[in-house]
Amino acid sequence: MKNVSRRLGTGVLAAVGLMLLAGCGNGSRSSGESPTESIGQLALPLVTHGASGTLYRLRDATFAIHHYGYAGYGGGSVGGGGGSDQVITVSSETDPDSETISVSVEEGQYYVELLPGWHFERETPGGAVTVEATLLYGETQWVYVSRRSTSFAEFQFGLGDREVWLNGDLNIGVVLYEDPSELGYGGSGGVAGAAGAFPGGSGGFVSGGTGSGGAAPSP
């Protein structure tokens, strides 16, 4: 019996040892993941072609890239997360001939903010010409960056000033009713029967006569 117990104890210890080794092996594979494996690329295009085929380039553009979930964006915590502010600032003028700004960042959510001071240039045979453009949908864009892939943060502009793209027309009209029945009031008792139709008069409403069924007085 002692030999049997001893063999059982040895078997249990061996099984536990194998489980621990297997756990250590799995842990080492997870912890051995290269930090670069969770990195993706955030791309910010700087050039675009209009419908006419004309090439336009964004100039003097500064982008502030805020990691979602870290304090600091907008003067507070972004998304309720904690930690220190993680902001990457990039400029179109670091490489003036580049068509895209590409930034390596950790996988996650980001807010990309276009800071004031930017302008557009139109490429012509005689050189670049400054043109007026309007930012259409706000200076901040949200983007999710996936590992080992490229995610784009694109801002939309319109050629021309704000009045061309952001203004609308307000039309003011009038309507003249010739008879109270056109408003859907009245009934069998005329205007006086439409309780609550018009403020004022006896009892807080206009009455057409002394009784509830009276007719409206002649003008």
Do 192 and 158 have their domain in common?
Answer: no
Are residue 133 and residue 197 in the same domain, yes or no? no
**Own/partner long-range contacts of 20-24 (Cβ < 8 Å, ≥24 apart):** none
159 neighbors 135 (Cβ within 8 angstroms): no
Classify residue 27 by its DSSP letter. H
Is residue 148 located within the same domain as residue 83?
Answer: yes
Q: Is 58 found in the same domain as 162?
A: yes
| Average pLDDT estimate for 148-170 | 94
How many angstroms separate the Cα of 196 from the Cα of each of 181, 183, 185, 188, 203?
14, 13, 10, 16, 10
Q: Which of 99-108, 136-145, 177-186 shows the lowest per-residue confidence on average (mean pLDDT)? A: 177-186
Q: Given pLDDT bands bounded at 50, 70 and 90, which one contains residue 54? A: very high
Residues 46 and 85 in one domain: yes
Q: Could you tell me if residue 151 is inside a domain?
A: yes
Q: What is the pLDDT of residue 184?
A: 84
**Gap between the Cα atoms of 30 and 32, Å rounded:** 5
More confident residue, 64 or 2: 64
For residue 18, being part of any structural domain is answered with: no
Residue 199 counted as domain residue = yes
**What's the pLDDT score for residue 140?**
96
Question: Does the residue 70 lie in any domain?
Answer: yes
**What is the H or E stretch that residue 47 is in?**
strand 47-49
**Residues whose CB is less than 8 angstroms from the CB of residue 27 and which lie 6 or more positions away in sequence, other chains included:** none
pLDDT of residue 57: 98
Q: What is the pLDDT of residues 180-207, one digit of tens each?
A: 999 986 555 444 444 444 444 444 444 4
Residue that wins the pLDDT comparison between 2 and 50: 50
- pLDDT (average), residues 23-41: 58
Same domain, 158 and 191: no
Query: Are 161 and 181 part of one and the same domain?
Result: no
pLDDT at res. 14: 43
- Based on the fold, state whether residues 198 and 149 are members of the same structural domain: no
DSSP summary character for residue 81: -
Q: Is residue 162 part of a domain?
A: yes
For residue 85, name the pLDDT band (cuts at 50, 70, 90).
Answer: low
Query: Is 212 among the domain residues?
Result: no
User: Do both 149 and 196 map to the same domain?
Assistant: no
- Give the percent of the chain with pLDDT over 70: 60
Look up residue 24 and give its two tokens.
Answer: 């250590």
Is residue 17's pLDDT more than 60?
no
Same domain? For 108 and 190 the reply is no
**Residues 74 and 146 reside in one and the same domain:** yes
**Range with top average pLDDT, 2-11, 22-31, 33-42:** 33-42
CA quadruple 188, 193, 195, 199: dihedral positive or negative? positive
CATH number at residue 118: 2.60.40.10
Q: Residue type for 196, please?
A: G
Out of 118, 139, 166, pick the residue that ends a domain: 166
pLDDT at 75 over 80: no
Domain range for 191 is 174-206
Most confident of 83-87, 171-175, 182-186, 196-200: 171-175
| Within a domain: 1 | no
The yes-or-no verdict on residue 51 having pLDDT over 50 is yes
Per-residue pLDDT for 214 more than 90?
Answer: no
How many domains would you assign to the chain? 2
